[in-house]
Amino acid sequence: MDSGGVTVVGAGGRMGAALVRALGTERVPGLALAGALDGPNCPDLGTDAGALAGVGSLGIPVTADFAEATGPAEVLIDFTLHQVTAALAPKVAEAGKAWVIGTTGLDADETAAVEAAAARVPVVMAPNMSLGINLLFVLLADAARALQDRGYDIEILERHHRKKKDAPSGTALGLGKAVADALEWNLDEVACHGRSGYTTEDRPTREIGFHAIRAGDFAGDHTVLFSTEGESLEFSHRATTRDTFAMGALQAAAWVRHQAPGLYSMRDVLGL
């Protein structure tokens, strides 16, 4: 198999470290660490990415220089911040690199910047890289259609670590979108984010509730609840380690480098 060089973008972060660890221990044949990019304010610039991730020196220092970090790479894997991903889009397209994006929380303009890049290079973008969650996207569509107009309320609960920046999680929104699309609802119109206060009205039937817990070190728990009088059906997924997302992102990297320009999802990668 030919060897694909991977640059980890956000190499100093939690997901960055998980990716460097997986690449440094050769968990995905055919992929190797080629560069480690982080922001100008990263305290670890100049430190070896492997040493930083706890797998020993890999001879690749963390740098804030885009050209230096990405020059030898075929694929970039990006787990950073929404505004960073959007700002990178024209650079990635110009450099002609395949791109895997795990960053969440992008707004419409930021997503448009990624879409513009995807007209020129192959891009996989997914709010959750795990097989289990992507299978859940598929299963939920069936469940939502089967329970439609039968009096079931739909609520989505998620739990993440205390340092997570965006809420609700991109995965929770993705789960909500899977349900809304199946029911031909517009998610923006039916989403209800948290509840407080007093109402005299019953809960609307055409609503998807979102509840975000931030505490401790949860890697990511999601539950989609379909509930009616007399019974509830719950779909739950629990990520116990970030390695799950890292392995999914590496699978996406191995796949996307052989694709034509375009915007792909993990469902495309996994063939679901």
Annotated catalytic residues are 160, 164
Structure tokens at 172: 């929770």
Q: Is residue 39 at the binding interface for ligand NAD, with CB under 6 A as the rule?
A: yes
Q: Is residue 13 at the binding interface for ligand NAD, with CB under 6 A as the rule?
A: yes
**From the CB of 263, what's the least distance to ligand NAD, in Å?**
15
Stretch that binds ligand NAD, among 19-27, 35-43, 51-59, 210-218 (CB under 6 A): 35-43
At 243, which amino acid appears?
Answer: D
The one among 77, 126, 143, 154 contacting ligand NAD by CB under 6 A: 126
Structure tokens at 245: 């997302």
Element (H, E) at 251: helix 243-256
Residue-level length of the chain: 272
Going by C-alpha positions, the residue among 24, 254, 270 that lies closest to residue 130 is: 270
Q: Is residue 104 at the binding interface for ligand NAD, with CB under 6 A as the rule?
A: yes
Q: Is residue 84 at the binding interface for ligand NAD, with CB under 6 A as the rule?
A: yes
Q: What is the DSSP string of 117-165?
A: HHTTSEEEE-S---HHHHHHHHHHHHHHHHHTTTT-EEEEEEEE-TT--
**From the CB of 101, what's the least distance to ligand NAD, in Å?**
8
The one among 20, 31, 75, 81 contacting ligand NAD by CB under 6 A: 81
Write the binding mask 161 to 200 for ligand NAD: x where contact by CB under 6 A, - elsewhere: -----x---x------------------------------
Outline where DSSP puts E strands in 189-239. 191-193, 208-214, 221-228, 231-238
**5 versus 10: smaller Cβ distance to ligand NAD:** 10
Contact of 239 with 158, CB cutoff 8 Å? no
Binding site for ligand NAD (CB under 6 A): 9-10, 12-16, 37-39, 42, 79-81, 84, 102-105, 126-129, 166, 170, 245
